[in-house]
Structure 1
Amino acid sequence: MSRPCRSVLYIPASKERALEKARDLAADAIIFDLEDAVAPEEKARARRLLVADLERGGFGQRLRIVRVNGLDTPWGAADMLAFAAHPGVDAVLVPKVNGPEDLDAAAARVAKPLWAMLETAKGCLTPGPIAAHPRLEGLVMGTNDLARELGARARADRMPLMAALGTCLMAAKAAGKPIVDGVFNAFRDEAGLRAECEQGRDMGFDGKTLIHPAQLDIANEVFAPSEAEVALARRQIAAHAEALARGEGVAVVDGRIVENLHVATAKLLIGKAEAIAARSIAVGAV
């Protein structure tokens, strides 16, 4: 598995203290935000600040993503130019992607890998071509903007957004790209955050975008395989290998059948656990 994306924290690029603190946070990935989190009059200063801060480095193994402004704004072209080949950046996140043509326009200006925000009705209606774009490495759900455009009411079960979430998730999985869930706005509501993380995890999302460092621990816990899950995966692999040695194609573990597809799932889960463990060791060494 590639680098974990359990916790993807937005950091406003205009906030020097937040940028400094980000180096010590337990986030798998950071989205350095030049778009929604930065006021229009602060855009140019935030860009200069972020260029210099990323040149300093010190972010360890965290995935470093810069969310630029769109090319339909006065700041988008300059943002893309500033981070087109910046050595401190792993990827550029393109906002409000409506179709692959938006990624084509960004790819013409940016040498770095691209990520896409899926946060418009048009983008979420046919996300397949977006997810399949050859320069795209990951997708981010922008549930706040999407809910606003849909006129959807806020509900704990997120039922008004389920069609879009499911469609985008399937597109990402079909293309073999990671996809992270939208933010949970009530950052002091730990129970609500946990419930929404568990919902996203159970749907198949790889992690969750976050708006506050206080949300990191819950996201990291929920989107990581538990010890019990890893132990069960190892038992399934072993039992299936033993069944094959006996000339049988199916094993039984805890009263449930284990076939090739279950073994494949078990191996993916163990790979994810090992990637998370390796990241933890690397962070501890920084």
Structure 2
Amino acid sequence: MAIARPLRSVLYIPGSKPRALDKARGLPVDAIIFDLEDAVSIEEKEAARETLAEALATGGYGARMKIVRINGLGTPWGADDAKAALNMDADAILMPKVSAPTDLDALAAITGDTPLWAMMETALGMLNAGQIATHPHLQGMVMGTNDLAKELQSRPRADRLGLQSGLGLCLLAAKAQGLAIIDGVYNAFKDEAGLDAECQQGRDMGFDGKTLIHPAQIDIANAAFSPSEADIDLARRQIEAFEAAEASGQGVAVVDGRIVENLHIVTARETLAKADAISAMMEG
């Protein structure tokens, strides 16, 4: 199941910072995670709810998807965050450190039918990803690679070798259920080449986009997770060749020396649909 809504760039914004919340209204980002958890100090936790609620009520975020990340229900702030988020103008609530479907059950007991997203950042969460993905209120997964690497005690590497098993398990789980799935953050926000390489890796694996920690990372993520002109051209030529082959009674076509079957046409149409959705968002 293809994800129609572009989610190439998903930027974390502290829910406690009015200036950052205001600046986000003008950024070319596909989605925003309004954070009440890691980006907010303990002293600001309660005030951040009111600051965020006011910003979302004011609006101005256009077509960007609005996701509120709450604190865990095991913290002193989680339950109140969840209750407050219900009354905010947001598209979904993001729960940190989801390790089992019962974690989402506990949140849904507060939030009802509100769409939920899950931070996938624990070893147990990786092992239970397939079950977590079947939760009836879940619409997306976000990889929490920093917390996962900490728990795994893996070393940082450009190829993210230590994280590959977890990334793959969550990808399989999300794709099997038609969920959105967003890659983890790249910490060195001034390292454009490193960010691009990691975005390309994530796109090659099948992620829908990347979470970002700084506005300077948006353009690189948007470019990496958008169909290129070459991708669009190939998709159009594949569809044209396949339709011509079908019209002549054949089940396959050949484009650029490669066999093109119906499964390739499904992908080609998804590529064009994604490009159209991105254009519509940019125009909007």
Band of TM-score, shorter chain: over 0.9
Shift in Å, 1:77: 0.6
Q: Distance in 2 between matches of 1:264 and 1:85?
A: 39
Match of 2:139 among 137, 140, 152: 137
Assess if the C-alpha contact under 8 Å between 2:66 and 2:90 holds in 1: yes
Q: Distance in 1 between matches of 2:6 and 2:42?
A: 33
What corresponds to 2:101 in structure 1? 100
Match of 1:209 among 204, 211, 233: 211
Assess if the C-alpha contact under 8 Å between 1:230 and 1:270 holds in 2: yes
Assess if the C-alpha contact under 8 Å between 1:251 and 1:259 holds in 2: yes
Q: Percent identity?
A: 64
**Alignment TM-score, normalising by the size of structure 2:** 0.98
Match of 1:200 among 193, 199, 202: 202
Assess if the C-alpha contact under 8 Å between 2:4 and 2:273 holds in 1: no
What corresponds to 1:110 in structure 2? 111
Amino acid of the structure 2 residue aligned with 1:21: K
Q: Distance in 2 between matches of 1:96 and 1:205?
A: 19
Q: Distance in 2 between matches of 1:51 and 1:110?
A: 16
Does residue 44 of structure 2 align to residue 42 of structure 1? Answer: yes
Q: Distance in 2 between matches of 1:228 and 1:277?
A: 16
Shift in Å, 1:66: 0.3
Shift in Å, 1:48: 1.1
Assess if the C-alpha contact under 8 Å between 1:181 and 1:205 holds in 2: yes
Secondary structure of the 1:38 match is: coil
**Alignment TM-score, normalising by the size of structure 1:** 0.97
Q: Distance in 1 between matches of 2:140 and 2:87?
A: 18
Assess if the C-alpha contact under 8 Å between 1:85 and 1:110 holds in 2: no
Secondary structure of the 1:23 match is: helix
Tell me how large the CA RMSD over aligned residues is. 0.7
Does residue 26 of structure 2 align to residue 21 of structure 1? Answer: no
Secondary structure of the 1:109 match is: helix
Please list the CA deviations of residues 122-164 of structure 1 after superposition, one character each: whole Å capped at 9, or x if unmatched: 0011201111111001110000000001101111110000000
Secondary structure of the 2:159 match is: coil
Amino acid of the structure 2 residue aligned with 1:142: G
Match of 1:81 among 80, 83, 103: 83
What corresponds to 1:162 in structure 2? 164
Q: Distance in 2 between matches of 1:153 and 1:37?
A: 24
Secondary structure of the 2:254 match is: strand
Q: Distance in 1 between matches of 2:87 and 2:259?
A: 50
Unaligned segments of structure 2, at least 5 residues: none
Query: Which runs of at least 4 in structure 1 moved beyond 2 Å after TM superposition?
Result: none
Q: Distance in 2 between matches of 1:195 and 1:184?
A: 10
Secondary structure of the 1:20 match is: helix
Shift in Å, 1:2: 2.7
Amino acid of the structure 2 residue aligned with 1:114: L
What corresponds to 2:191 in structure 1? 189
Assess if the C-alpha contact under 8 Å between 1:30 and 1:62 holds in 2: yes
Greater alpha carbon shift after TM alignment, 197-206 vs 264-273? 264-273
Greater alpha carbon shift after TM alignment, 205-214 vs 127-136? 127-136
What corresponds to 2:267 in structure 1? 265
What corresponds to 2:62 in structure 1? 60
